[in-house]
Structure 1
Amino acid sequence: MSVADLLAGLGAVDVAIVGGGIAGASLAAALAPHARVVVLEGESMPGLHATGRSAAFWSETYGGPAIQPLTTASGGALRDGDFLAPLGSLHIGRADDAGAAEALLAAFDGTAVDLAAVDPAAHVPGLRAGWTVGVMEPSCAYIDVARLHAHYLAAARRARATIVADAAIRGAERQGGGWAIDTAAGRIVAEVIVNAAGAWADQVAVAAGARPLGLKPYRRTMVQLRTDPPAPTTMPLVVDLAGRFYFKPESGGRLWLSPHDEVPTSPCDAQPEEIDIALAVDRFEGAVDWQVTAVERSWAGLRTFAPDRLPVYGYAERGFFWCAGQGGFGIQTAPAAAQMAASLLLGRVPDVPGVDPDRYSPARFDDKDRASD
């Protein structure tokens, strides 16, 4: 059976989710037991862009206090599914970063996040002189991103969701109370479109005649290094308080490093630039006295933000639901975000502990906000 025949055979569905990355996959898994769902993935397989190129850690401080409730609320499901492994995170700085350390501690004071001021040299062997400021975040963990994404796709399929690859959206028109959606794989009719298209989310909105929100993609570079001495497996994720780099140990003495870049770009298959790789290595060597013996590989991914850098979940207009703008924290917040979004789509009151869905609603954007961005 051809893909076009498959789509035609589905008839009308309740929800068409555009995008099969972690946002679309987790939502499909949460929604499919209660509705007829199709996931329309534009690439040859789901998760090729932001999801498949993640730095793979779960950190309650990552994204700031506005994201922390979603991250914390996701922790239980990630731990119960054995998707997390101990790591810890150490935020480091020089003397003039002391204010940033104090601001970090203050921002999460009174929350569930455990932070403590420490001597960073006690946790990073070979740390160069001058790096005297440290804040430890012991709850930070590795995420098995590939297994988590596969878990959601499998759960969606078990609940009879249909996942269709090579199905980029060409256009969508309102038909009765729903949508007639034209894709590269064929035509599908759905009551609701969920826009989980990541960097392409505004393009999907335009294709459907909906108003874009001003979401912008940015390139983030990652490098895998070998060093002398090898990266200790017991070392935590190390994050520069000034936002110039982060690095973490990987198996076999390898190390993953990023210059913490955010380079504006168009939606694309992001590739690393030599200048960003060199910048990452230079910043790393300015923090530790290890010798970089090999740059084994490098890659880049896209991080997409709304104008206020918060994710967008909810209806902006009739039949068009946003599930986009997750920036770099879409994976670590996926369980709670999917639960919240599924409840909204099913007309239920979301019940995610500590999470206010109105905070992430597209209703927070008015025409003036979009025009001025």
Structure 2
Amino acid sequence: MKFVDEAFIDVAAGDGGNGCVSFRHEKYKEFGGPDGGDGGRGGHVFALADPNLNTLVDYRFSRRHDAKRGQHGMGSDMFGAAGDDIVLKMPVGTIISDAETGEVLYELLQPGEMITIAKGGDGGFGNLRFKSAINRAPRQKTPGWAGERKSLKLELKVLADVGLLGLPNAGKSTLITAVSNARPRIADYPFTTLHPNLGVVRVGPEQSFVVADLPGLIEGASEGAGLGHQFLRHLQRTRLLWHVVDLAPFDDSDPVAQAKAIVAELKKYDQALYDKPRWLVLNKIDMIPVEERAARVKDFVKRFRYKGPVFEISALTREGVQPLIQSAYQHIKSQQVAEQPPVYVDPRFAGEAPQ
């Protein structure tokens, strides 16, 4: 299935029901008084973060979503029933913004999180509300308030700890297969990956992180060339980037020039993305004779002018993969600890031993 990461929808909360003008009619009670009830509230429109969803494809074919209006008020002091709410299930990580202004309105970041994206209108008042000592037979009522109507843009950014970055055929799909439970399609031609693939990397008991394999980038991707430009946004939420480089390309092209082109695209697209921690993963070392590997790696790092962590791996034979996984997990855990808010300690009890 094609990955759908963007959709436009129109939502309309229900209008409130109208108030009622009614008077009590009972035997032997000539002036029973007003008994018109209020209208019911219109239905709300909610968005629910569903961890079982990973695309927005359902909203590509179903654009209009309307909640029910509230029931009108009735006589005998009967208020109208509230309109039925509707719940729109969306993948975790969905950004909801105004389709016209582009303003971000909501973000669904936690599984099970539910937010109100359109509020139903309140019900109108019946004539029972207007009864007073000087107005014993009111004939006033008010209509129900209109529900909110919005045109929204839905955008999904893949929530992953590690993002794989690199040219087509760099071996990213093979790598995610080697380290996780993801099984993307793999072939010996570019653009095999047509949509992001997520995989869970198991490091140990209750120790794991999520890695995302994204379509390959080519030079000019930030301006729309190739496939990668559609998915650069997914890298923005990752904690770490693995820049996968084919150290032994079949066409004898220069890996350094290819790697520099990818880094240039990152910088053009988003400076914050360019500044993210980025590790160099030199892949396909199994294609290089053992006695030549050290010299080849040293030459690449020198010409690439790279000073960060370097990992030499073969995704096909899984050589060097475990050190990469362990180092990434430790890096992610350290970032998670640093992002946790400090624990507040009341200064009156600072230094005291816990009871």
Which category describes the TM-score, using the shorter chain as reference length?
under 0.3
Higher helix residue share: 1
Give 1 or 2: higher strand fraction.
1
User: What TM-score do you get using the length of structure 1 for normalisation?
Assistant: 0.18
Higher relative contact order (CA 8 A, sep 6+): 1
